[in-house]
Each structure stands twice: as structure tokens, then as C-alpha cells.
């Protein structure tokens, strides 16, 4: 196992180089550059900038350099741990990303906990009470949860909250707390606002997870070791938790690593619609405005997380499942 992990870690830098090139290629593929996008933004908000100024800026930002030169400059900086400067924000990308990181993670973690806290018990209940009324109800909820595009859900919930309860649920903070320093009141405010986006983000995941949990557990419940355990005289719920749930859980736990990158891309649309301070909208903006070093930085982190996530999943699965741990 250790050898396997070491091997994977060793090829990580190589993979990152390949990824960085592909990413740079992709973000550079759309026609135009940051300044074309910038001019377009200015023009569509009713203001303008002269051709001379554009040329000057283009030169200043090095956007008139050939593709490979730009790439190597980027790589050179990256190797020094420098994510470069955002063209739009005129601030170091590392700062911009790290500022959003905290709340992104908070939201992701919250929806993750919510997802698991709802999905796993629901899945266990459904599997241990198959074809019961509650099982059917949960199944229907799950299917609808999977089928509803979450951006639509977000939009409708936001409107309903406003139209019928007169509360504006966009954002993660009340206006007075957005830039306030951290305090108990601010945490409380965050907890008040986080549940709706957390729910919207988590709903499809919850539905999917509880269906997988149900299916896995149903499989496990039919295994002979369950009969053995029952024949030992164990309490039913204890038995279910200790044996089949534990086994049904393994494949789920192994997806936790995959969840890591999904935290960023999954919330992209919802975070934009709900105006959440999040990496997702930052990435979307950077892509649309062709703020390429910012977009590149976020994508690179994303790829890194995917690789690490995959590795983490494998390690987790091995830790949980002695069959894998001992044999490899």
C-alpha cells in the first residue's frame, strides 16, 4: 500500500505539468483575450475605452506575447509558488482564491454533512424497511431530488422566500455582516443563511447517496454473515450497524475523495444564482472575462484536488476494507 501511494505521489508532478498545459490551452482557446472581454464589458455597461489605451494595456499585461511564452512565464511563476496577478482584480490570484476558500469550504462541508446526515439514515431505514410506506415516500423524494436541476430549485426557493416570507436569502450573510470581523453573531448569521444553499447544493447528492446506500445495504442484508450474526443473538439495530451497514458504507466512503473537487465545480451554477461568495462564481467570471491566470490557477487547484481526491479515496477504501489493505 505504501509503495502504491508513493508511486502515485511520484507521478503527480508529471501529471500536473500535463494538466497545466492542457488547462492553459483550454483557457486560451476562446478567441480574444482579457482585454477583448474587458472592452466588451465596458461597452455593454455603457462606457468605452480607446484603442490606444487597449494597446497599451495589452502590452503591459504581456498579452501580445506568443502562446508558449505566456505559458512558460506562467509555469515559471508557478514553480516559485506564485499564482500571478489577476488581470481583472489587479491583485495576487493566491489572495483572491484563499479569500474565497474559507467560505467555499464551509459551505461545501455544511452541505456534505447535511447530505450524509440525511442520506445515510434514510438509506438505512429504507433498506431495513423495504416496501414500507416511508420507504416509498423516501424513494419518490429521492427520485425527484435527483431529477430537479438545482439551479431551478435555487431560483424558485429564492423567489418563494422573498414573495411569501419577505426574506432575501441570497448570499451567505446579512448585509451588516458581510465584511464584519468574525464574531459569534457573525457565525450565527452564517448559520442562519447557510442552510438554504446547503440544502439546494446537497439535495441531488442526498438523493443519490441515499439510493446507493439503500441498494448497497439491501445487497448486504442478504449476505449469510447477517444470518450468522443474528444467530448469535445480537440486537437487530446493533447488528445492522455493525455488519451490513459497515460493509455497505465502504463504497460510499471511497467517494469522499471524489467529493473534494466536486465541491468547487458542483456549486458553480447554484452559487452564481444564489450570489454566494464562492470559488465557483470566481472561476466562471474569470473564464468569461478571460482572466486567464486566475482561471488557470483555480483549474490547476481543481485538478490537483482531483488527483489527491482519487488517491485519498483509494487510501480510505484500503483503510476501511482489510481485504484491500492486506492484499495490496
Partner 1 sequence: MPLTRIAIEGAVNQQTPLLQVRDLRVSFQLDEGVVRAVDGTSFDVMPGQVLGIVGESGCGKSVTMKAILQLVDRPGRIDTGEIKFLRSDGETVDLVKLPPRGAMIRQIRGGEIALIPQEPMASFSPVHTVGDQIIEAILLHSHRWEQGGRKISKREARKITIGLFRDVGISMPEQRVDAYSWQLSGGLRQRAMIAMALSCKPRLLIADEPTTAIDVTTQAQVLALLRDLQVKYNTAIIFITHDLGVIAQMASYVVVMYLGRVMEQGPVDAIFHAPKHPYTRALLRSIPSMYGQTRVALPVISGTLPHPFNRPPGCPFHPRCADVMPACSVGVPRLMPVGDDQLASCFLHHNEAEPV
Partner 2 sequence: MVRDVKRRVALIGLAAGAGVLATGSSVLAQAGRYKEAASVTELVRAGKLPAIEARLPENPLVVPVVERVGEYGGIWRRAFLGPADSNNYIRVVYDSLFRFSPDGAKIEPKIAAGAESSADYKVWTINLRKGSRWSDGAPFTADDILFWYTDVLLNKELTPTLPGWIRNADGSAAKVEKASETAVRFTYLAPATLFLTAVANQDGADRTFAMFLPAHYLKKFHPAHAAKADIDKVAAAAGFKTWTELFANRNAPPENPERPTMAAWAPISRASDPIFTLRRNPYYVGVDTAGNQLPYIDEVRFTFFADVQALNLAAIAGNFDMQERHINMTNYPVLKDQEKTGKYRIITWPTFGGADAVIAINQTYAADPVMGKVMATKDFRVALSFAINRDQIKESVFLGLGEARQGVPAPWHPYFPGAEWAQKYTEFKRDEANKLLDGIGLTKKDAQGFRLLSNGKPATIEISVVPAFGAWPDVALLVGKDWEAVGIKTIVQIRERALHFKMGENNELMAEVWNEDTSAFPYTGNAKVDPRNAPILTMGPLWRRWYATSGKDGVEPPPEMKRIVEIVDKARTVGPEEQIKLSQELYRNWADNVYEIGTIGLTPMVQGVVVAAAKFRNVPTTLGNDWPLRSPGNARTEQFFFSK
Partner 3 sequence: MSGTSSAAEDRVAIASNWRLVWWRFRRHRLAMISAGLLIFMYMIVLAPDFFSVQDPERTDARQAFIPVQMIHFFDDGSLSPWVPTITGKRHPVTLRMEWVADPARKVGVRFFARGYSYRVLGVFETNVHLIAPADPTQRIFLLGSDRLGRDQWSRIMHGTQTSMTVGLVAVALSVILGVVLGGLSGYVGGKTDQVIQRIIELLQSVPTIPIWLALSAALPRDWTPIQVFFAITVILSLVGWTTLGREVRGRFLALREEDFVLAARLAGCSRMRIILRHMVPTFASHIIATSSLAIPVMIINETSLSFLGLGIRPPAISWGVLLQEAQNIQTLALAPWLLTPGLVVIVAVLAFNLVGDGLRDAADPYSN
The residue ranges that bind partner 1 (CB under 8 A) are 130, 223-225, 227-236, 243, 246-247, 250, 320-323, 326
Partner that binds at residue 47, options partner 2, partner 1, partner 3, none, CB closer than 5 to 8 Å by kind: partner 2
HEC string for the chain? CHHHHHHHHHHHHHHHHHHHHHHHHHHHCCCCCHHHHHHHHHHHCCCCCCHHHHHHHHHHCCCCCCHHHHHHHHHHHHHCCCCCECCCCCCEHHHHHHHHHHHHHHHHHHHHHHHHHHHHHHHHHHHHCCCCHHHHHHHHHHHHHHHCCHHHHHHHHHHHHHHHHCCCCCCCCCHHHCCCCCCHHHHHHHHHHHHHHHHHHHHHHHHHHHHHHHHHHHHHHCCHHHHHHHHCCCCHHHHHHHHHHHHHHHHHHCCHHHHHHHHHHHCHHHHHHCCCCCHHHHHHHHHHCCCHHHHHHHHHHHHHHHHHHHHHHHHHHHHHCHHHHHHC
> Would you say 229 or 294 has its CB closer to partner 1?
229
If the CB atoms of residues 28 and 77 are measured against partner 3, the closer one turns out to be: 28
The interface partner of residue 192, options being partner 1, partner 2, partner 3, none and the CB cut-off 5 to 8 Å by kind, is none
Residue 271 binding target from partner 3, partner 1, partner 2, none, CB below 5 to 8 Å by type:
partner 2
Of residues 165-224, which lie at the interface with partner 2 (CB under 8 A)?
Answer: 166, 168, 170-171, 175, 178-179
Min CB(173)–partner 2 separation in Å: 8
Q: Tell me which of partner 1, partner 3, partner 2, none is bound by residue 255, counting a contact when its beta carbon lies within the kind-specific cut-off of 5 to 8 angstroms.
A: none
Q: Which of 73, 89, 101, 151 binds partner 3 (CB under 8 A)?
A: 151
| Residue 35 CB, nearest approach to partner 1 (Å) | 58
* Nearer of residues 75 and 284 to partner 3, judged by Cβ: 284
* Nearest-approach distance from CB 283 to partner 1, in angstroms: 39
The CA–CA distances, whole Å, from 173 to 72, 177, 269 equal 40, 6, 19
57 binds, among partner 3, partner 2, partner 1, none (CB under 5 to 8 A by kind): partner 2
Q: Which one of 3, 6, 80, 90 is in contact with partner 2 (CB under 8 A)?
A: 90
Q: Which residues bind partner 2 (CB under 8 A)?
A: 30-32, 36-57, 59-60, 62, 82, 84-85, 88-92, 96, 155, 158-159, 162, 166, 168, 170-171, 175, 178-179, 271-277, 281, 284-285, 288-290
Amino acid at each position: 500500500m505504501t509503495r502504491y501511494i508513493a508511486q502515485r505521489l511520484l507521478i503527480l508532478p508529471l501529471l500536473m505539468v500535463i494538466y497545466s498545459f492542457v488547462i492553459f490551452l483550454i483557457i486560451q482557446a476562446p478567441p480574444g483575450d482579457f482585454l477583448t472581454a474587458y472592452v466588451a464589458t465596458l461597452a455593454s455597461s455603457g462606457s468605452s475605452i480607446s484603442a490606444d489605451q487597449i494597446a497599451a494595456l495589452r502590452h503591459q499585461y504581456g498579452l501580445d506575447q506568443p502562446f508558449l511564452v505566456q505559458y512558460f512565464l506562467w509555469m515559471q511563476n508557478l514553480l516559485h509558488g506564485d499564482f500571478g496577478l489577476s488581470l481583472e482584480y489587479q491583485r495576487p490570484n493566491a489572495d483572491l482564491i484563499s479569500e474565497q476558500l474559507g467560505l467555499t469550504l464551509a459551505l461545501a462541508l455544511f452541505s456534505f454533512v447535511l447530505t450524509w446526515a440525511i442520506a445515510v439514515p434514510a438509506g438505512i431505514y429504507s433498506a431495513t424497511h423495504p416496501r414500507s410506506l416511508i420507504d416509498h415516500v423516501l424513494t419518490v423524494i429521492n427520485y425527484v431530488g435527483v431529477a430537479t436541476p438545482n439551479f431551478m430549485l435555487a431560483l424558485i426557493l429564492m423567489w418563494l422566500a422573498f414573495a411569501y416570507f419577505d426574506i432575501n436569502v441570497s448570499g451567505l450573510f446579512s448585509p451588516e455582516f458581510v465584511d464584519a470581523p468574525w464574531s459569534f453573531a457573525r457565525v450565527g448569521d452564517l448559520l442562519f443563511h447557510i442552510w438554504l444553499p446547503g440544502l439546494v447544493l446537497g439535495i441531488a447528492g442526498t438523493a443519490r447517496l441515499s439510493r446507493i446506500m439503500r441498494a448497497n445495504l439491501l445487497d448486504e442484508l442478504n449476505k449469510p454473515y447477517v444470518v450468522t450474526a443474528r444467530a448469535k443473538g445480537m440486537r437487530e439495530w446493533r447488528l445492522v450497524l455493525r455488519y451490513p451497514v459497515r460493509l455497505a458504507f465502504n463504497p460510499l466512503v471511497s467517494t469522499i475523495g471524489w467529493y473534494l473537487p466536486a465541491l468547487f465545480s458542483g456549486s458553480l451554477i447554484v452559487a452564481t444564482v444564489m450570489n454566494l461568495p464562492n470559488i465557483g462564481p470566481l472561476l466562471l467570471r474569470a473564464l468569461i472575462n478571460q482572466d486567464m491566470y486566475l482561471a488557470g490557477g483555480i483549474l490547476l487547484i481543481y485538478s490537483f484536488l482531483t488527483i489527491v481526491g482519487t488517491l485519498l479515496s483509494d487510501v480510505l477504501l484500503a483503510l476501511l476494507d482489510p481485504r484491500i489493505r492486506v492484499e495490496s
